[in-house]
Amino acid sequence: MSKNIIGVALITILAVILMINTFQPKEKASNETDVTGDTNVNGVAISAPNQGGIEQGEEAPDFELETIEGETIRLSDLRGSKVLLNFWASWCGPCRKEMPEMQQFHEEHGDDIEILAVNLTNTENKETDVHKFLEENGFTFPVVLDRDMAVGETYMAVSLPTSYFIGTDGVVQLPKKVGPMTYEFMEEMLEKLN
């Protein structure tokens, strides 16, 4: 019942945002600035702080979640390691596309970087769907369950998949990636992390 209420509330909020954006005047606001220098780019703007989730250069907010095996993991326990923090759901097509690439990356670079895949569990039909999806595909990287979406909200993971690259110092060192990653992209990001 509460999932239905949350779902209806989320759809209502998205509908209101869509209506506001649709009927808003299309003039460029005075606080928007094209910083690219490329006159062919549309829609480039500097947004207000804290409007786009955790940004490059910020410390990654700590959290504690349960793994699919029932163990507890705190992000701060991984301090000293490079971390790929990935938000996903089993119903998400782009997530399904990147998961085999993440598995290959985990198998080949698991000693160099920790993968922590955060499942937005309250968006799933059933929690057992997550377990079934992981088992059927043989994914072995760590998966934690964000049952109340508190971590997803903190990181503003509104589009799936969304990934953050966290350095050994606990700081998000690279821009977040929204959309599916390739193996090559993950390797490139690994090389840039400290």
| pLDDT digits 0-9 by tens, 130-166 | 999 999 999 999 999 999 999 999 999 989 999 999 9
Name 170's Cβ contacts closer than 8 Å, sequence gap at least 6. Answer: 59, 60, 75, 76, 79
In a domain, 178, yes or no: yes
Q: How many domains does the chain have?
A: 1
Residue 62 is assigned to a structural domain of this protein: yes
Q: Is residue 68 part of a domain?
A: yes
Q: Is residue 79 part of a domain?
A: yes
Find residue 191's DSSP bridge partners: none
Which phi and psi (to 5°) does residue 7 adopt?
Answer: -60, -45
Residue 25, domain member (yes or no): no
* Domain-embedded: residue 157: yes
Query: Residue 96: which CATH number?
Result: 3.40.30.10
| Residue span of the structural domain in which 180 resides | 57-192
SS (H, E, C) the chain: CHHHHHHHHHHHHHHHHHHHHHHCCCCCCCCCCCCCCCCCCCCCCCCCCCCCCCCCCCECCCCEEEECCCCEEEHHHHCCCCEEEEEECCCCHHHHHHHHHHHHHHHHHCCCCEEEEEECHHHCCCHHHHHHHHHHHCCCCCEEECCCCHHHHHCCCCCCCEEEEECCCCEECCCCEECCCCHHHHHHHHHHCC
Contact by Cβ (8 Å): 102, 117: yes
In a domain, 142, yes or no: yes
Of the listed ranges 7-21, 72-86, 115-129, 130-144, the least confidently predicted one is 7-21
Q: What is the pLDDT of residues 90-127, one digit of tens each?
A: 999 999 999 999 999 999 999 999 999 999 999 999 99
Q: Are strands 83-88 and 114-119 parallel, antiparallel or unpaired?
A: parallel
Which tokens belong to 33?
A: 């600035």
| 27 inside domain | no
Report pTM: 0.73
Q: What is the pLDDT of residue 5?
A: 75
